[in-house]
């Protein structure tokens, strides 16, 4: 079919050329006579052998384009799969870090905070190193490449954990101030300024304990939401 079409096109073009030469010759009143070279070109142009060569070149070009497109799609899918697997490993590491921190917290300050009675200070010192969230901080640049819902939950829980650490730090400073005031009051038990400062510090500790319990509850919900969303992401990855 391609051969026939191309043959007709070339023949039509050849006739067109001859017609143009005839028309020009008539206008100039010059008789038309094709030389041997021109006749040979026209004969070769209308031969099946020449058409086969053109068709082969045309089909070869198409096959080359298709092969390049298939190779590009294969490479793109390979890169997408590699990136998806990497993101999943980052998610696993983050969830593992959250679970470890949660377990340590629940066995220590978290357990005591749950047993804390309302209206009282939380007499618990908490000393935490500056490297609180190693996995999260070292992979923060990859969070934007993760599923938006998961990324939102990851950021939310780490912000809550940072807030909890900060609030424990504030609580510890109030406890240090209370110890200092008690020490001063032992030497000057009737000092009104010291007594007023102690009452203020005591009230601040009560407020801080309520804030710690509030953030503790938010953390529990955020952690459960993160783990549930992570399981959904793993299922979607298996199905895709």
Q: How far apart are CA 87 and CA 92, in angstroms?
A: 9
Q: What integer pLDDT is reported at residue 15 of this predicted model?
A: 45
Residue 121's pLDDT is 93
Question: Tens digit of pLDDT per residue, the chain (240 long)?
Answer: 544 444 444 444 444 445 445 444 444 444 545 566 555 655 555 555 555 555 566 666 676 667 666 665 666 665 556 667 777 788 888 888 888 888 888 888 888 888 888 899 999 876 665 566 777 777 777 777 777 788 888 888 888 988 998 899 899 999 999 999 999 999 999 999 999 999 999 999 999 999 999 999 999 999 988 888 888 877 776 666
What is Dmax (Cα atoms) for the chain?
A: 135
The answer to whether the CB of 135 falls within 8 A of the CB of 96 is yes
Alpha-carbon distances, residue 133 vs 39, 73, 137, 155, 193 (angstroms): 84, 38, 6, 12, 41
pLDDT for res 213:
93
Task: Please give the model's pTM, rounded to 2 decimal places.
Answer: 0.61
Residue 229 CA, distance from chain mean position:
15
Domain ranges in the chain?
Answer: 2-74, 82-239
Q: For residue 161, which of 151, 169, 172 has the smallest C-alpha distance? A: 169
Residue in 142, 169, 154, 13 with CA at minimum distance from that of residue 86: 142
Residue 225 in contact with residue 98, Cβ under 8 Å?
no
Alpha-carbon distance of 240 to 235, in angstroms, equals 9
């Amino acid at each position: 079919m391609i051969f026939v079409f191309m043959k007709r096109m070339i023949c039509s073009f050849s006739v067109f050329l001859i017609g143009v030469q005839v028309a020009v010759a008539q206008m100039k009143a010059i008789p038309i006579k094709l030389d041997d070279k021109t006749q040979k070109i026209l004969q070769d142009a209308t031969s099946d052998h020449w058409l086969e060569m053109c068709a082969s070149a045309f089909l070869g070009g198409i096959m080359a384009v298709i092969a390049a497109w298939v190779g590009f799609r294969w490479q793109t899918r390979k890169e997408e799969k590699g990136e998806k697997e990497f993101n999943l490993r980052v998610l696993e590491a983050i969830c593992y870090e959250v679970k470890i921190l949660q377990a340590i917290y629940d066995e220590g300050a978290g357990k005591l905070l749950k047993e804390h009675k309302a209206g009282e200070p939380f007499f618990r010192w908490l000393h935490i190193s500056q490297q609180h969230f190693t996995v999260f901080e070292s992979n923060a640049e990859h969070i934007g490449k993760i599923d938006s819902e998961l990324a939102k939950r990851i950021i939310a829980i780490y912000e809550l954990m940072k807030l909890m650490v900060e609030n424990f730090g504030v609580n510890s400073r109030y406890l240090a101030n209370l110890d200092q005031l008690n020490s001063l009051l032992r030497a000057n038990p009737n000092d009104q300024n010291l007594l007023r400062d102690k009452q203020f510090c005591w009230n601040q500790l009560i407020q801080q304990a309520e804030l710690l319990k509030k953030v503790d509850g938010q953390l529990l919900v955020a952690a459960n939401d993160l783990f549930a969303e992570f399981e959904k992401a793993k299922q979607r990855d298996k199905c895709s």
